[in-house]
Amino acid sequence: MFRALVFAFLACCFMPMQAGAQDLQSLLQTHRDEIAAPSRSSVGVALDDLAGSGVPAVATFLELWQDRQVWQREADGLFFLAEEGEGGVYTLTDIETGEVVGTADKSELTELRPNGGVRREIASALVQFQLSAPDIERRIAAVDAIARAMNADQLTPLLGAIDNEPDAALRARKERLAGMLAASFAETTQERVAAIEALADDLSVDVRAVLNQLLTTNRSVALAIPQGGNVAAVLEPGSDLSLDTAYEMLVAAELAPARVPASAILAALTENIVDGTVAGTPTAELNTTAAREAAYAALAEQGLVAPTVIEAEAQAAIAAHTYFDVYNESDVAVTDAARLALSAIETRVGVNQFVDLSLDALSLASIYFLAAIGLAITFGVMGVINMAHGEFIMMGAYTGYVVQLFIPDYTISILVALPLAFAVTFGAGVAMDRLVIRWLYHRPLETLLATFGISIALQQLAKNIFGTQARPLTSPGWLDGAWSYNDVISISYIRIAIFILALIFLALILYILKRTRLGLEVRAVTQNPGMAASMGINPDRINMLTFGLGSGIAGIAGVAIGLYAQVTSEMGSAYIVQSFMTVVVGGVGNVWGTLAGASLIGFLQKGIEWFNPSNTLAAQTYMILFIILFIQFRPKGIVALKGRAAGD
């Protein structure tokens, strides 16, 4: 009983409001002609009235109208959603209520087919409804539509849709987009300047595009700079623009007559040769530009040719006028604010680009360090030039690929692949040392040739087993994407992981060399093999373990490199040159030297690529030339060995 009384009370309260509310069909009838036969120039009045009516079904009607799904009944001019049924009879549905209200033959209906221009106007009107739609996907689509084609009409509905936006990220996008719109279309200068100043902290490309749009200029010429014009720069003919361009501007502005081309002058003189002269001047004297122009001027005075402008007259006309760039934006305060904001943004962008380039260089250095540290150990301790070192990197990458064939979980497979790649390449390195390297100690040329042959054999073996096509080594899902600090600084998670892996191996190798017995024996053999042998150390065993350790580290590097590079039989050859350069530049047999060499080469390569981004081959060439010059002045590398080993 109580609920019935409450319902009756609410019905009495709201009945007058409902009775006074305008329904969609009545609203559409007030603009029947504009809706039935719309044009881009006249449809704006109807759209403004529909948008401001407050009728909830307007958004639905606009969407159907834009998609050409609205039909008009000719008998009474009412608008419906029509669907063809059996026998060519159309079922009519009320757009506002969604209820079927009758049927009609096709001959009784007219399909509304707005053209492209009208549909774009409808889309703009729909934005204000979509910005506050319950579905977030529709709100995102509306924001994207505004961002693609910004205009002044979108600022007010966008501002109105910010406060009630529940999604924080989308609200931030709306605020940012409203700021860009306000910078261009706000009503007062103060609002525009405030919006521009707020954009000075944004480094995104679209913000810079908005500011650049405010600073677009047109080049003009006049007797004097016009009063009240927003002049960007005054140009000096001959330095800021060529003299020919300056005179062409005068001609285009109808401030000077057009010049007759030199070819036309020559043709006119040729046609008017009489008894070996042209206008009284012997043809033999027409061997200079000035003489030909004077003869042509004489012909023009006789009315035989069209007049032209001689160089002196052109110079005088150019000097008599002022050339300048004028902003398309007439408000001086706006352009001043935009120029200051853009200058501040470009400065910050330059700083951030340097940081981003440094991160890329650091990432590349970590890759080179992983690829070269194993070679540094074997080369430094044993003096072996191992040209097959790149193939150990390739073996590690293929090990990771095989592991992923059996373990589909990419995180677990990578954790399994890293130690397994070390074991596989460690064993291969020990086998190579026992079978080949041990017989070639202190014979560097023979070692180089032998390991080069092994390199070719291992590449062919990989082709026979895995084929010539690249094999995928997929990274875990948590390594997808990139860490982005802002619109300029970003680095992929895979490169961050490789950098961390390089730090781990740096610490691990330093611990092994400095804190373990094996490391002590390795350092002893490196410093003086004979003295180490007299102290009970077996140099042959140390050489074997050292070669295996260096090969194992190369295998782990192969897994890391394979996560972002193609795994092929030739992938190792892409890193062998950089590995040797890293070792030589850093200092043979020194971990810190390898780190320094990798850093130098990584930063040098990225720096050269930044200056010449379209030619990576040239960057490689310049880098090699730099390294050749570097080792001329410091042949023992950045961090040279000390003690007796330094003299070997």
The DSSP line for 378-415 is HHHHH----TTHHHHHHHHHHHHHHHHHH---HHHHHH
Q: Which residues sit opposite 483 in a β-bridge?
A: 491
pLDDT at 28 over 50: yes
**221, 310 Cβ separation under 8 angstroms:** no
Give Cα 446 to chain centroid, integer Å: 49
pLDDT at 428: 93
Instruction: Please name the fold of domain 349-647.
Output: ABC transporter involved in vitamin B12 uptake, BtuC (1.10.3470)
**378, 384 Cβ separation under 8 angstroms:** yes
pLDDT at 648 over 60: no
pLDDT at 19 over 50: no
pLDDT at 286 over 90: no
Q: Model confidence at 138, in pLDDT bands (50, 70, 90)?
A: confident
pLDDT at 288 over 60: yes
Q: What are phi and psi of 177, to 5 degrees?
A: -65, -40
The distance between the two most distant Cα atoms of the chain, rounded to a whole number of Å, is: 125
Q: Which has more pLDDT, 357 or 278?
A: 357
Q: Rounded CA gap, 64 and 94, in Å?
A: 12
Q: Rounded CA gap, 145 and 174, in Å?
A: 12
Buried/exposed 192-216: b ≥16 CB within 10 Å, e otherwise? bbbbbbbbbebbbeebbebbeebbe
**85, 93 Cβ separation under 8 angstroms:** no
Judged by DSSP in three states, 219 sits in: strand
- Nearest to residue 62, comparing CAs of 90, 43, 75, 77? 43
Mean pLDDT of 165-170: 87
Mean pLDDT of 266-273: 83
Mean pLDDT of 349-367: 89
- Nearest to residue 631, comparing CAs of 581, 574, 578? 581
**What are 430-462's pLDDT values in tens digits?**
999 889 888 887 787 888 889 899 999 999 999
pLDDT at 16 over 60: no
- The mean-pLDDT minimum among 13-27, 121-135, 288-302, 423-437 falls in 13-27
Percentage above 90 pLDDT, the chain: 14
pLDDT at 93 over 70: yes
- The mean-pLDDT minimum among 118-132, 388-402, 436-450 falls in 118-132
- Nearest to residue 181, comparing CAs of 212, 215, 146? 146
Q: Model confidence at 380, in pLDDT bands (50, 70, 90)?
A: low
- Total count of residues recorded for the chain: 648
Mean pLDDT of 304-319: 80
Q: Rounded CA gap, 474 and 410, in Å?
A: 7
Mean pLDDT of 2-18: 35
Q: Rounded CA gap, 118 and 38, in Å?
A: 7
**23, 101 Cβ separation under 8 angstroms:** no
pLDDT at 425: 94
**192, 182 Cβ separation under 8 angstroms:** yes
**159, 89 Cβ separation under 8 angstroms:** no
pLDDT at 531: 83
pLDDT at 640: 63
pLDDT at 118: 81
Q: Model confidence at 399, in pLDDT bands (50, 70, 90)?
A: very high
pLDDT at 5 over 60: no
Judged by DSSP in three states, 566 sits in: coil
pLDDT at 616: 64
Tokens of 439: 């017989």
pLDDT at 13 over 70: no
- Nearest to residue 96, comparing CAs of 153, 122, 57? 57
Judged by DSSP in three states, 313 sits in: helix
Q: Which has more pLDDT, 5 or 497?
A: 497
Q: Rounded CA gap, 196 and 192, in Å?
A: 6
- The mean-pLDDT minimum among 35-49, 186-200, 415-429 falls in 35-49
Q: Rounded CA gap, 551 and 423, in Å?
A: 9
pLDDT at 529 over 80: no
Q: What are phi and psi of 111, to 5 degrees?
A: -80, 130
Q: Which has more pLDDT, 169 or 385?
A: 169
- The mean-pLDDT minimum among 17-26, 434-443, 527-536, 633-642 falls in 17-26
pLDDT at 403: 94
Q: Rounded CA gap, 330 and 39, in Å?
A: 31
Tokens of 441: 């100690």
pLDDT at 615: 63
pLDDT at 105 over 60: yes
pLDDT at 14 over 50: no
Highest mean pLDDT among 54-63, 345-354, 561-570: 345-354
Domain boundaries, the chain: 2-119, 131-216, 218-327, 349-647
**400, 425 Cβ separation under 8 angstroms:** no
Question: CA 126, 131, 133, 138: dihedral to nearest 10 degrees?
Answer: 80
- Mean pLDDT computed over every residue of the chain: 82
